[in-house]
Amino acid sequence: MPTQTTPEPGLALQMRGIRKAFPGVQALAGVDLDVRRGEVHVLLGENGAGKSTLMKILSGALPRDAGTIEIDGRAAALASPREARGARIAIIHQELALVPEMTVAENIFLGRAPTRFGFLDQPAMVRDATTFLSRLGANIDPNLLVASLSIAQQQLVEIARALSLDARILIMDEPTSALTERESARLFATISGLTARGTAIVYISHRLDEIFAIGDWITVLRDGRNVATQEVRQADRRALVRLMANRDVDELMPPMERTTGTPRLRVEGLSHGNRLHDVSFNVRSGEIVGFAGLLGAGRTEIARAVFGLEPFDHGTVYVDELPVDIRSPQDAIAAGIGFVTEDRKREGLVLSRSVRDNVALPILRRLARLGIVHRKAETAIAQSSVRDLGIRTPSVSQLAQNLSGGNQQKIVLAKWLATGARILFLDEPTRGIDVGSKQEIYALINELAASGVAIVLMSSDLPEVLGLSDRVLVMREGRITGEFTRAEASAERVMACAVGI
């Protein structure tokens, strides 16, 4: 609940009652945010809590459904990025928005290059760029190509750009995710300089250390609503973690009693560049092992490596205690592994084809004789899948793109089950799915485990992981940083491992 309602002098930004809905999901359900001039306001929340949607609205990239925004006391519509720039709001995205093949100066003035009689005024551009860069204490030659700079330097270029826009409100999204400690320290110094001059900064980050280092105020979002707004001075780490993670757990069914058998899958010492470091784990038949952690922690990379989509530097994979050499999805499928990817539209389904075609795709060879597909067998498998998984579709000839998200995900599951997979990787299995279908899918996952399938569940939805898993492994920056049994696991403990306390 917001703790400030009266407008204060020195309020650079005031957002009230912001609402935004996407088809099937209410991303923001009436969010408030106040930022004073010269203040660093940290925005905290889980993935999907609404942070990026809120910032997109503030930077003019998305229209809001309802709510008001006041900049320096004046109402602002912010209907386009140009308007936002006009209101002197600048945003620095997590993925930097620079043009690598252009110079630093050109990037700083992208779209607003100074001209003389209609021609590009190169010297003026370089001169101005140097001014802004030096104000940041950045020793970067404006004539260098951006592609030749380090990430830290590129970030400074982005900030210089924001400066050149004379931004009064600066949004920074996970700015230190690609920086070393030293570079982060320098960034914080820069931020101090900016705030000293009265710039208001909205700072999105998961890293609690940073928050306590530079933040003045914190707002925690959850499920599109404000959960807490506090001064950093008065905040407590553990309390913050609890605020971020806590939510209703009664969506889930209580797990059925499962007996786990022998280890189906064992991974030893999996390493790949600086994405994965010495990852080892095993999964038994009938067991659900959950991988928790923040986005980018390395969970998907494990699945891709085991499934043969990406090569890895070190490590061995054992299926039923025998070492396997998996180099392609074909090999993985032959070894009985299935992979429900995190993006069903891009990787999981051929949307323009029917339910039947999608379910049968990996096993077409088995359903054919001399290359000719046995139509009846194909339809039979599709129909039994529809029945067993409760897929709601008028017929198996219905195109996949016409089904709801939940049913689409069921088709993906059905596809892997049809291959006879006994080891199943599930990556964000209920992302973008309505609550009712989520429940059904949880039930399905339970049933699958009960029938002996070894399941690796990867999800950034904590309650999901906690509710379904027999064991929870926590990943952070490519390593396994914690392991909990069902009894030991709790939201706070897992979150703590995930953010690195």
Partner 1 sequence: MISSSTLRRIVRGRESGTTFGLLVLCVGLWIATPYFATAANLSNVAEQSAVIGVIAIGMTFVILTGGIDLSVGSLVALVSVVIGSALQRGVPVFAAVAIGLLAGVVSGALNGLMITRGPLPPFIATLGMMSVARGAALLLSDGRPISGFPDGLRALATGEVFGVPAPVVMMLTLYLLAYLVLTRTVFGRYMYAIGGNEEATVLAGVNVRRWKTVVYAISGLSAGVCAVLLVARLNSAQPIAGIGYELDAIAAVVIGGTSLLGGSGSVIGTLIGALIMSVLRNGLNLLGVSSYLQQVAIGVVIIAAVLIDMALRRRVQRSSR
List residues binding partner 1 (CB under 8 A).
Answer: 307, 309, 328-330, 332-333, 339, 341, 346-353, 357, 360-362, 364-365, 368, 371-373, 375, 398-399, 401-402, 415, 419
Q: Please count the CA atoms within 13 angstroms of the CA of 162 that sit on its side-chain side.
A: 27
Around Cβ 101, how many Cβ atoms within 10 Å?
A: 10
By beta-carbon proximity to partner 1, the closer residue of 29 and 399 is: 399
Task: State the nearest-atom distance from the C-beta of 353 to partner 1, in Å.
Answer: 5
Yes or no: say if 89 and 168 are a contact pair by the CB < 8 Å rule: yes
Task: State the nearest-atom distance from the C-beta of 437 to partner 1, in Å.
Answer: 17
Yes or no: say if 293 and 474 are a contact pair by the CB < 8 Å rule: yes
Task: State the nearest-atom distance from the C-beta of 159 to partner 1, in Å.
Answer: 36
With left for phi above 0 and alpha for psi between -120 and 50, is residue 256 left, alpha or beta? beta
By beta-carbon proximity to partner 1, the closer residue of 127 and 375 is: 375
Task: State the nearest-atom distance from the C-beta of 439 to partner 1, in Å.
Answer: 24
C-alpha 56/C-alpha 50 separation (Å) is 10
By beta-carbon proximity to partner 1, the closer residue of 313 and 347 is: 347
Task: State the nearest-atom distance from the C-beta of 309 to partner 1, in Å.
Answer: 7
Tokens coding 129 = 């760029």
Task: State the nearest-atom distance from the C-beta of 217 to partner 1, in Å.
Answer: 43
C-alpha 306/C-alpha 302 separation (Å) is 6
By beta-carbon proximity to partner 1, the closer residue of 200 and 367 is: 367
3-state helix, strand, coil in the chain (%, to 5): 35, 30, 35
Q: Is 20 in a helix, a strand, or coil?
A: strand
By beta-carbon proximity to partner 1, the closer residue of 219 and 419 is: 419
Task: State the nearest-atom distance from the C-beta of 310 to partner 1, in Å.
Answer: 12
By beta-carbon proximity to partner 1, the closer residue of 172 and 349 is: 349
Task: State the nearest-atom distance from the C-beta of 346 to partner 1, in Å.
Answer: 6
In Å, how far are 55, 158, 273, 366, 490 from 94, measured between CA atoms? Answer: 12, 11, 22, 46, 30
By beta-carbon proximity to partner 1, the closer residue of 205 and 419 is: 419
Task: State the nearest-atom distance from the C-beta of 396 to partner 1, in Å.
Answer: 14
For residue 416, give the nearest of 308, 354, 338, 347 by alpha carbon: 338
In angstroms, what is the C-alpha Rg of the chain?
26
By beta-carbon proximity to partner 1, the closer residue of 403 and 499 is: 403
C-alpha 37/C-alpha 219 separation (Å) is 16
Tokens coding 264 = 């189906």
By beta-carbon proximity to partner 1, the closer residue of 234 and 352 is: 352
Task: State the nearest-atom distance from the C-beta of 41 to partner 1, in Å.
Answer: 40
By beta-carbon proximity to partner 1, the closer residue of 280 and 397 is: 397
Strand order in the sheet with 169-173: 89-92, 169-173, 200-204, 40-45, 217-222, 225-231
In this structure, which amino acid lies at residue 416? Answer: W
**C-beta contacts of 228-234 below 8 A and 24+ residues apart:** 228/1, 229/1, 229/2, 229/3, 229/4, 229/34, 230/3, 232/42
Pairing of β 423-427 and β 454-458: parallel
By beta-carbon proximity to partner 1, the closer residue of 25 and 361 is: 361
C-alpha 500/C-alpha 159 separation (Å) is 28
Task: State the nearest-atom distance from the C-beta of 405 to partner 1, in Å.
Answer: 14
